[in-house]
């Protein structure tokens, strides 16, 4: 996207004197409205006695912090296990969907379409409430992680498939010309490049996994959301706890999103720099493909 002023060049020209005056007016009005909103919120808190020191100070005590910290660890553990399991499974599923074997392709496609269209919570309830009757009674952590993996494998498969499709066709043709079999070409030539292309999207998907882990609240696995809930049982500091929990999630996810943007830019510029490097005169040959843009964050 072209670098320019932060506002949309599509909609607005460089403002003239009258335009600038109007922008100043709206700036003042906007600031007033925003200040009024913040003031209203604070007033609402104060009016209900939620701004008192006793309502916020507990959260700087070590015991409270440790309690929420344990929750954060639980969140990270669930997220990490889900990631470690679903990333390779996603690759396999993507390969299945791209496979020449018709049955394999159909099964993979059906799996992907199915699990992208079913809410995670419904699956979690199935693992929590329905399957134990059939003797499938997983430990708490796995009642949370297995459904997350089932759903996210489908999402990740689509990301990997996009990556494979984004690798220049010439790469697999060259591999075939060198006498590599299809599987070898995929494993040795195409897939490594595809994975590199989708790294930013994979990091973005980590945000989705981290968000999904909040459903530990439902299965009573002690991740951050559940720990926050447990804390309120003792303290009755509901707004405060849930605001702080939300803040922790936002900070953690923004950090991950920033990492994705950073990787995207880094991988992107490295590709370009190499293409125009001094030892490599520009021969007009097509450069290496750009990394696949980070997929839009999934909801929930």
Partner 1 sequence: MDVVFDNIGYLLGGLLTTLELTVLGFAGALVLGTALAVCRVSPVPPLRVAGAVYVEVLRNMPLLSLLVLFVFGLPDVGLTFPLFASAAICMALFAAAFVCEAVRGGINAVPVGQAEAARALGFTFTQSLRHVILPPALRTMVQPLVNIFIGVALGSSLAAAVGVSELTNRTQVLNLQSAEAVVLFLVSGAIYLAIALLGGTAGGVLERRLSGRAR
1 in helix, strand or coil?
Answer: coil
Stretch that binds partner 1, among 81-89, 114-122, 163-171, 262-270 (CB under 8 A): 114-122
CB of 104 to partner 1, least distance (A): 22
How many CA within 13 A on the CB side of residue 163? 28
What does the per-residue mask of binding to partner 1 show for 72-111, with x meaning CB under 8 A? ----------------------------------------
CB of 191 to partner 1, least distance (A): 26
- Which residues make Cβ contacts (< 8 Å) with residue 143, sequence separation at least 6? 124, 127, 128, 219, 221
156 within 8 A of 292, measured Cβ to Cβ:
no
Q: What span, in angstroms and rounded, lies between the C-alpha atoms of 215 and 94?
A: 26
Stretch that binds partner 1, among 63-71, 125-133, 166-174, 195-203 (CB under 8 A): 125-133
Among 3, 10, 283, 284, binds partner 1 (CB under 8 A): 10
Stretch that binds partner 1, among 60-68, 99-107, 162-170, 250-258 (CB under 8 A): 250-258
Q: Does 21 bind partner 1 (CB under 8 A)?
A: no
87 within 8 A of 203, measured Cβ to Cβ:
no
9 in helix, strand or coil?
Answer: coil
Among 103, 122, 233, 285, binds partner 1 (CB under 8 A): 122
Pick the closer one to partner 1 by CB: 98 or 218.
218
Among 150, 225, 263, 294, binds partner 1 (CB under 8 A): 225
CB of 238 to partner 1, least distance (A): 5
What does the per-residue mask of binding to partner 1 show for 47-76, with x meaning CB under 8 A? xx-x--------------------------
Q: Does 9 bind partner 1 (CB under 8 A)?
A: yes
Stretch that binds partner 1, among 25-33, 57-65, 162-170, 266-274 (CB under 8 A): 25-33
CB of 183 to partner 1, least distance (A): 32
Pick the closer one to partner 1 by CB: 188 or 238.
238
Q: What span, in angstroms and rounded, lies between the C-alpha atoms of 6 and 91?
A: 38
Binding site for partner 1 (CB under 8 A): 1-2, 5-13, 15, 19, 23, 26-27, 30-31, 34, 44-45, 47-48, 50, 113-114, 116-123, 125-126, 129-130, 133-134, 207, 210-212, 214-215, 217-218, 225, 229, 232, 238-239, 241-243, 245-246, 249-250, 253-254, 257, 296-300
């Amino acid at each position: 996207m072209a670098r320019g002023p932060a506002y949309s060049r599509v909609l607005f020209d460089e403002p003239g004197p009258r335009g600038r005056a109007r922008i100043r007016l709206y700036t003042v009005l906007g600031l007033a409205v925003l200040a009024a909103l913040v003031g209203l919120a604070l007033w609402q808190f104060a009016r209900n006695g939620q701004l008192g020191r006793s309502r916020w100070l507990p959260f700087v005590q070590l015991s409270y912090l440790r309690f929420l910290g344990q929750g954060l660890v639980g969140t990270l553990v669930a997220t990490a296990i889900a990631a470690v399991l679903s990333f390779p499974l996603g690759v396999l599923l993507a390969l299945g969907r791209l496979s020449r074997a018709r049955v394999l392709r159909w099964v993979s496609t059906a799996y992907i379409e199915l699990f992208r269209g079913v809410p995670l919570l419904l699956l979690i309830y199935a693992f929590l409430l329905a399957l134990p009757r059939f003797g499938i009674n997983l430990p708490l952590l796995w009642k949370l992680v297995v459904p997350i993996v089932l759903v996210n494998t489908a999402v990740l498969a689509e990301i990997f498939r996009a990556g494979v499709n984004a690798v220049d066709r010439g790469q697999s043709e060259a591999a075939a010309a060198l006498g590599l079999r299809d599987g070898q070409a995929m494993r040795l030539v195409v897939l490594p490049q595809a994975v590199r292309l989708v790294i930013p999207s994979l990091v973005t998907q980590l945000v989705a996994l981290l968000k999904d882990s909040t459903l530990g609240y439902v299965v009573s696995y002690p991740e951050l959301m559940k720990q926050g809930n447990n804390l309120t049982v003792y303290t009755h500091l509901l707004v405060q706890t849930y605001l702080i929990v939300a803040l922790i999630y936002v900070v953690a996810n923004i950090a991950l999103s920033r990492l994705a943007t950073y990787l995207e830019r880094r991988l992107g510029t490295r590709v370009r720099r190499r293409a125009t490097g001094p030892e490599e005169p520009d021969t007009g040959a097509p450069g290496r493909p750009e990394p696949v843009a980070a997929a839009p964050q999934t909801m929930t």
